[in-house]
Structures are given as C-alpha cells and as structure tokens.
Amino acid sequence: MPKHRRPPASAPEKTALRLGFMPLSDCAPLIIAYEKGFFTAEGLDVELCRETSWAAIRDKVGLGILDGAQMLASMPLTSRLGIGGPRFNFISAMVLDLNGNAITLSHELYQHLAAVDPHSANCPAAAAAALRSLIRLRKPSQPRLRFGTVYPCSPQSFELRYWLACGGIDPDRDVEIVVVPPPKMVSAMSDGNIDGFCVGEPWNTLAVQQRLGDVVASKYQLWNNSPEKVFAVTEDWAARNPNSHQALLRALLRACVWLDHAAHRQQCARIISQAAYIALPEDTVALSLRGYSQKHHAERPQYQPDFHVFHRYSANFPWLSHSDWYIAQLYRWQLLSEPLNLEDTASAIFKPDLYRQAAAALGIDCPKIDRKSEGNLHEKMLMPNSTQLGPNRFIDGTIIPVGGTLQYLEQLKLAANALDTLRQINPEQRLGNQ
Amino acid sequence: MKLLLIDLDTAAVERLNAVLSGAGIHCRSLSGEHCDLYRELQHWPADIILSCIDSPHRDTLEHFAHSHANSPQTIIELGGRSSESIARLASELQLSLYAINSLRDSLLQALLDTIICQLRSLDQLKTEMAAARFTLEQRNHTQQAVSYIVDKFALRPQQAEELLRKNAHLQRRSIEEVAEGLLAGGELAAMAT
C-alpha cells in the first residue's frame, strides 16, 4: 500500500456493528480486519457473527439483525431480483476475493472418469467429457448422479453448471443438483448421498485428504479470477450510514491488502482455523491459502498461486461486467425470464464509486472504468507481476466484450423472442451481427 | 393444514403442538441433521414451515422452495410491506417462516401472533424459572432442614423453624444458609438448641 497522508475521515454514524460470515477460507478479510485491529482503527466496534447458512445471512442483513455480511457474489443481484428467495435491496461496493472454489467428485466416480480418459486428472474439459460418456452409459433405471452446491443461484451453482455444460451435460436433465451446507458436504459424500460437489475451501482439500474425493476443476480453471464473495449491506443501511460504510470498506480493504502478501497466508490460516471461525486443522486451511491445490490424494499438491486472490488484479473492484455475466447465466438456465436493462440493474447493486472513494482514502489505485471485457486476457499476455488486471479466460474460450452480453446469450441459443425484447431495452448492447 | 417445524427445540415444539393442534393445524417436527430434507419435504408436503433461522439446512430448504413453486416459500413481508412480526420472529425467536402462496396474509398474521405470543411467553417463563431456581432450591433446603430437626429433636415444625431462626440470628447468617449448613452435616454439632 503506498504511503500517503490520509485526510481525516468523517465520524461513523454507527460504531457498534454486527457483521456475518460463513466458516469458509474466504471469510478471511472479515476475520483479519477484526484480529489485526483494522476495524478498531476506523473507530468501529465490530462483533463478528458466525452464521450457518447463506439464507440466514441474507435474511439477517435484510431484516437489520446484522449490519452487513460476507455474501456470495451473486446474492445481491439474485436477492434484488427475487430469484431463489425473497427480494432484498442489497448493494455491494467491494469484492472480498476471487477464485477459491473447486469441483470434487467422489473417488469412485473419479476412477471411472480416469478409466474413460486419463486426462481427466488434470484437464477439467476432459473430465466433463468423460463424465458425459459415463452418464450416457448409465441405465435408465439408475438414479441420476447427484451433485451438491451451497445455495441456489450461487457462484458454485453456476460454476458447476458451466463445467457440466462444457462437457455436453444438461445440468437440469442429466444430473440432479442439490444444496448441502458446506460443512456437511464431505460427510454427504462419505455417506454416498452425493457423487460430487462444488464448494469453497477448505472442504475440497478435506475430501481429498480423507481419500473421499478428487478435484477435477478449480474455479480459476473455469473462469480465471472471477468474483467469489462480496461485502454487502442493504441500500437503506448504506444511505443512513455512509461514513460507517466507508470505514468498513477501508478496514476490509486493508485486510485484503494484508492477505495478498504470500508471507501472511500461514498466519492467516492459524487465525481463521480457530474454533470461533472455521474450526478445522490449521494445515487443512493453510494448503489452499498458501496457493496449493491438492487434487488427488496420491499426488503432491500443485502450486496455484492464484487459488485465492484477495487484492491483486483489482480484485476488490465491483466490476459491473461481473453482474452482466451473472445475469447472462440466469437467462441461460431459465432462472430469469423477465427482460432487464443490464446497465440499470448492475449499477443499482454494484457501487464502483463507493469503492473508489474508500480506495482513494487509502491511496490505492483503482480502475477508472466500470466494465471490462471478460475472457480476453491469457496469462501469457500479461506482464510478470501485473497487479492491475489478471487473466480472465473461460474454460471454453468464450470472450464477452464490453456490451457483448446479448451477443453471448445469442451464442447460447437463448430464445429469439427473449433476445429481441432484451435488445429493445438494452440499445447500448452490440447486435448479434456486429 | 400441515406445519413442519425444522430444528426447533423440544419445548417450543411441544408448546406449538399443544396450542396449534386445537386450531386444526397438524404439526410435525424434524431435525435437519438426521434426515434427507428433500425426501421429507416431498413425502410430507407442508403448507407452512417454521425453521430455526440458524439451521444449517436453511439453504436446502431455500433450494427446495426455489425448485418447487407450489411448496412453501420464504416469507419476509406481509401484504407487500415489511412486517414487524416477521422481524420479531427472526430477531427475538430466531425463526424463519415459509408458506405456500395461496394462504391469506391474515391467516399468516394470526399464526405469527400466536407463535410469537406462545414462544415469547415460553421464553419469558424459562427466564423467570431460571431466576427462581435459586430461590426454590433455598426454600427446599429450609423445608428439609425443618424436617430433619423435627425428626432429630422430636420438635414440632413451628419449634424447628424457630430453632433455625434463632441459630441464624446467633450466627449472623440467613436462615437458608443455616439450613444448608445443617443439611451438609458439618454444622449439626454447633446447633444451639
């Protein structure tokens, strides 16, 4: 963080704040902001509340029981639209982390995949194609394979669907997707209730360490550096407490900067693995935080320095193009049929200007634009140690330029009449033949 | 009408069962931990669900609601407006309500009023009982000490009570403390008769 003289911040309207988090590795920004005194330094007296479900976080923030919380990156959007639950007017001015999830299959299912195509071990697309072959060989009398995710319309749900679809599998017809609480995911696999899951860390590592599962894809491999959790509050709360909101954003931003130093990751694991937070062995939590992904029990963990990204690549910036992608996935999977104006929807929920204000107070550079193309940056195209933008490829090579969401939906064969309506209310979007 | 209670404590289940069955509501209680919630929700299609807000199975419930439009849906407001009852249900009783769409808001409001009244009074009673426990225990000790003195010294109960009072005065302790000491055995010899 550059050294600078900070102008005095306006006094927070509310100082005693209750913030919710889920026991996952990427709750780290909240825990670190608390443990390292970043909240206190902003004059905030924060109580961290460990929650047991995303629905509880949603309802408690929405009803004012919590002031704010760590949320799934898609949750402010889906809640605003009333998809997968009741309507709440959440806003988010900050992304907490990128990447961090993985898709794990039961060891038995994975062995079948590896027998079909040995490349399944390290190639997510090959694993998905092998899975499609296995599904086609199954008898009609056999129950569908069952996959766990953590919440309807969650990033995990979209990632699982994306991976299945890239192998030619229809997530709604060829398999069954159920919701399992993250801490129950490994035991559900052990009990034979699910054949695979998509979840955040440390639950994938735990499944591999217990020889129950094998990781076939990481979130990074599906869409490099895509948003995972955000910090969200209600629109009303933000309007009533603008200074408290800025103070929270600054404290969380300082925590994210601290977390992105590789040298701090083991210490982070020591802190967040405590009983009050994740309550798992430090080594289990530390593995992915230190940038290692253990995909198979018999193999050494692979070094993936971007497995968890907390700050670099402008990670904390609430890109409106990320909102566009989630809206596109909602249309893709028929979870949304009502035509929306993408610009109005995204800008009502994600607040780049509030982020810029907090970043400026800390002397942190941030993007001047609100949207960026997705899928167009390969690792090899970037300068070494680039911090402004990271790779953003999709597993299937899709590129979505700014203003190209409808074009993307056209490629996905969204119904023509739905596209026509969308074009009419999104005149700024590129037409399909451009 | 079927009401499913998920991850509520036993006392709350018993209280609601006793009160709501009289209104024709059939209650069933489930622990999300020990069942396949998807299967249970399909086999016993409830009209209303009351879940502990902190149940780790809330997200499964949300998914079921999301994928079965005719099943109970999360209720956050009544009559299109924010509801104080829903907020109280969540903040004071840590409960979340789900109901099928065809139920009238007035029915849900009446149900919420009953639930809040019953469980709040139950909560209040539990709090008062906890506060009264010490007093009740002390009273019990005194009664046992009186019985002991009656048996030991062949006195009438009134005389035994007077003896305890006199000893308490001499020892500058409360009657309850003297009674407790007597029952503990160590101070029997010191009793001034």
Measure Cα distances from B103 to A195, B72, B99 in Å: 38, 10, 7
Give the whole-angstrom CA distance, residue A305 versus residue A202: 16
Give the whole-angstrom CA distance, residue B25 versus residue B46: 11
Average pLDDT over residues B118-138: 81
Residue of A nearest to B66 (CA): A84
> A52 vs B54: CB contact, 8 Å cut-off?
yes
pLDDT class of B16 with cuts at 50, 70, 90: very high
Name the interface residues of B facing A (CB cutoff 8 Å): 36, 38, 53-63, 65-67, 73-77, 86-87, 90-91, 96
Q: From its phi and psi, is residue A298 left (phi > 0), alpha (psi between -120 and 50) or beta?
A: alpha
Using a CB-CB distance cutoff of 8 angstroms, which residues of chain B are in contact with residue A180? Answer: 60
This model of the complex carries an ipTM of 0.88
Using a CB-CB distance cutoff of 8 angstroms, which residues of chain B are in contact with residue A184? Answer: 56
Q: With 90 as the cut, is the pLDDT of residue B126 above it?
A: no
Give the whole-angstrom CA distance, residue A400 versus residue A406: 9
Q: What is the DSSP letter of A120?
A: G
Residue of B nearest to A157 (CA): B63
Give the whole-angstrom CA distance, residue A401 versus residue B126: 61
Q: With 50 as the cut, is the pLDDT of residue A356 above it?
A: yes
Report residue A325 as tokens. Answer: 């992608």
Q: How confident is the model over A90-121, as pLDDT tens digits?
A: 999 999 999 999 999 999 999 999 999 999 99
Q: What is the model's pTM?
A: 0.86
Q: Which of A255, A203, A361, A282 is nearest to A30 (CA)?
A: A255
pLDDT class of A177 with cuts at 50, 70, 90: very high
Q: What is the DSSP letter of B96?
A: E
Q: How confident is the model over B62-85, as pLDDT tens digits?
A: 999 999 999 999 999 998 888 999
Helices A320-332 and A155-166: angle between axes, nearest 10 degrees: 60
Terminal C-alpha separation, chain A: 42
Give the whole-angstrom CA distance, residue A349 versus residue A413: 27
Report residue A145 as tokens. Answer: 């394979």
Using a CB-CB distance cutoff of 8 angstroms, which residues of chain B are in contact with residue A54? Answer: 58-59, 62
Kindly state the helix (H) or strand (E) to which residue B3 belongs, with its residue range: strand B2-6
Contact A178, B38 (CB under 8 A): yes
Average pLDDT over residues A132-142: 93
Strand partners, A46: A17
Report residue B108 as tokens. Answer: 């849900």
Q: With 90 as the cut, is the pLDDT of residue A29 above it?
A: yes
pLDDT in the model for residue A434: 44
pLDDT in the model for residue B189: 44
Strand partners, A234: A90
Q: With 80 as the cut, is the pLDDT of residue A217 above it?
A: yes
Q: Work out the mean pLDDT of chain A and round it to a whole number.
A: 93
pLDDT in the model for residue A126: 97
